[in-house]
Homo-oligomer: A and B are copies of this chain.
Amino acid sequence: MATRWGIAGAGKIAHDFISTLRSMEHHEVVAVADEYFPQNARDLSKLHGIPTIHLTYDELASDTNVDIVYVAVIQPYHHTVGKVILNRGKAMLMEKPFTLNPQFTRELIELAAQKKCFMMEAVWTRFLPSYRKMAECISSGQIGEVRYVNANFGLALDPGCRNKRLAVGGGAVLEFGIYLCNVCCMAFGSERPIRIAAVGHVNDEGVDETTGILLQYTRGRLANLTASTETALPCNAVVVGTKGKIEIPGMMWCSPSVITPDGVTHEFPFPDTALPCNYDNSSGLRYEAREVSQCLKEGRLQSAIMPHSETQLLSDMMYEIRKQIGVFYPQES
């Protein structure tokens, strides 16, 4: 039986996700809602042939035809919209970053448990074949003990774009840092850093544009990360262990390839999507969608690959980084 998706928030990533789902078997998009931009919901419905349009997220979450809601509203509203969905007892896939801060994240995790709803943060990279290969290399001990991670994600974005605006949840840490922190959580087996140090360049609005991050783990293990919405960086990730290293050679946030310790580059090309996508390699969203339907089928409340504890850890790390560079969002207070 197909997984029946409802879409909350009809922006660019929603379009890409729907386009990806349409290229997969056993997935259907049955409803869409956008409370703030209802025209976007109508447009998406028309473009993708989605049968139902709801006017509110609450209506969407109450739709018995919907198995799971994909929340693709902008970051600052994840917490509010998440509560609406969960309060109706509906399963939820929440776009990353999960919420703005650890307290909001904790509230949603508790609510999902209380309502016995499946819930997952859409850290799609974690499900990409390249990242699965990396995880496999690490867990099988092929590179020995992980000692060091270096990763960077930087694009030279237009000055006026959303990623540079505070009110809509921009910022290098929220937008790109999540991918860097995710690699570290994967590489260091979900350990919590013992110390975090960050320096960031904050624009006139109060949004960080270029941020350097050091994560110190026990026994001298270290991660060294850079996120930027200002400067085009190599966008690679390297995980160094006592016996070798693994590299994601570029576009680390959506890379179809990984270089294993033997120096071999493994390529995992992404299939086509139903319609052209807004973002690079969005077809890779299919792997998280597949995990979701698998979890739902098995009646699980969280994914073993991206469990709630990881979501909380990422949330904690990103908040500490932001706190150190002095970035706070109006929706937090």
Which A positions have Cβ atoms within 8 angstroms of B? 147-148, 150, 152, 154, 156, 195, 197-201, 209-210, 212-214, 216, 219-226, 228, 230-234, 238, 240, 242, 245
Contacts and interface: CB of A to CB of B under 8 A. Distances in A.
Interface of A, secondary structure class, is strand
Task: State how many copies of this chain the complex holds.
Answer: 2
A226 B233 contact: no
A327 B93 CA distance: 47
Contact of A209 (B214, B220, B230): B220
Given A214-B214, A216-B212, A148 B226 contact: yes
A230 B222 CA distance: 11
Contact of A220 (B198, B201, B214, B220): B201
B233 A148 contact: yes
A224 B197 contact: no
A129 to B, nearest CB: 24
Given A148-B152, A200-B216, A232-B240, 15 more contacts: A147-B210, A147-B228, A147-B230, A148-B154, A148-B210, A148-B226, A148-B233, A150-B226, A197-B212, A198-B214, A199-B216, A212-B222, A212-B224, A214-B214, A222-B228
A240 B232 CA distance: 8
A201 B219 contact: yes
Contacts of A242: 156, 231
A197 B214 contact: yes
A224 B221 CA distance: 16
A148 B216 CA distance: 21
A216 B242 CA distance: 30
Contacts of A234: 150, 238, 240, 245
